[in-house]
Amino acid sequence: QVMEQPSSFQAHLAAGLSAALKPLGIPLIAQLWGENPDRTPSTLLTLLDHLNPRALVLNPLTRGNEQVAVDEILASRPDLPLIHLCGRGRGASFRGDNALGMRLVAEHLVHGCTVRNILVVRGNLDHVDSQEREAAVLAELARLGHPIDPARVVNGGYERDIAQRVTRSALERDPDIDAVVAFNDRSALGAMDAVISMGRRIPEDVVVTGFDDEDFAAFCQPSLTTVSQNLFQIGYTAGTVLPRI
């Protein structure tokens, strides 16, 4: 395995794949995004050239320029079977239900927490999960009678430090904000950093929600409400399909 401090998001997907493939004697080589994401396209190209894999399993990259580079590599290999985890494209796709997850978040905030002024911290504009989560949460909040002003939707880039900056800026110009919907758990941590740095309490003053249920979410203080996609099962299900393609 080629690993650079993988996120628990990726690690659970890879663990599910491995659990399905290992009993069948099918090896798994995992290139997981880590501290040097700029190396992703070149490393993938090297692996494809030297290993001639039976199939390629993909998880969408969080940074658009790297995804474009990877897409160009794959376009030059139209016969290579592809499986997408938490994404979509040519080949099979295995994903959680973004729309259901965000509807549940919206209902939790409006009915369970009775918040009124919600900030949405999206991921990347060109990332499929961010697009689907944004559409779903905005539609559900509008249905529940709490439409979101476009000024209360900001770009967090799926990164803790970026989410911290944009959340703090939003809270400074709009102190009535009483909830933050982040599109992944790392962004949620950044939002929590911003709230706490301004002397506000979680969840008494500001409720913060995440998405993905990464390992660290269980140990957050204050606690973090998040959406679990059962990443291991997504990977495992994809692994059961691989031998048949």
Handedness of CA 86, 73, 68, 159 (dihedral sign): positive
**One-letter amino acid for residue 193 of the chain:** D
Q: What is the pLDDT of residue 40?
A: 65
Q: What is the pLDDT of residue 29?
A: 84
Q: Could you read off the pLDDT of 215-235 as tens digits, one per residue?
A: 888 888 898 999 998 999 999
CA distance 216 to 71: 31
Q: Could you read off the pLDDT of 88-128 as tens digits, one per residue?
A: 888 889 999 999 999 999 999 999 999 999 999 999 888 88
Handedness of CA 176, 179, 184, 190 (dihedral sign): positive
Q: Could you read off the pLDDT of 55-72 as tens digits, one per residue?
A: 899 887 666 567 778 888
Q: What is the pLDDT of residue 5?
A: 46
Q: Could you read off the pLDDT of 9-54 as tens digits, one per residue?
A: 888 999 999 999 999 998 888 776 654 555 567 788 888 888 888 8
Q: What is the pLDDT of residue 4?
A: 39
CA distance 25 to 107: 45
The proportion of the chain whose per-residue pLDDT surpasses 90, expressed as a percent, equals 59
> Is the previous residue joined to 243 through a cis bond, with omega within 30 degrees of 0?
no
Q: What are phi and psi of 178, to 5 degrees?
A: -125, 10
Looking at residues 201-223, what average pLDDT do you find?
92
- CB atoms inside a 10 Å sphere around CB 151: 10
Residue 182 has pLDDT above 50, yes or no: yes
Beta strands (DSSP E) in 164-213 are 179-182, 207-209
C-alpha count within 13 angstroms, C-beta hemisphere, residue 207 = 18
Q: Could you read off the pLDDT of 127-179 as tens digits, one per residue?
A: 889 999 999 999 999 999 999 999 999 999 999 999 999 999 999 999 999 99
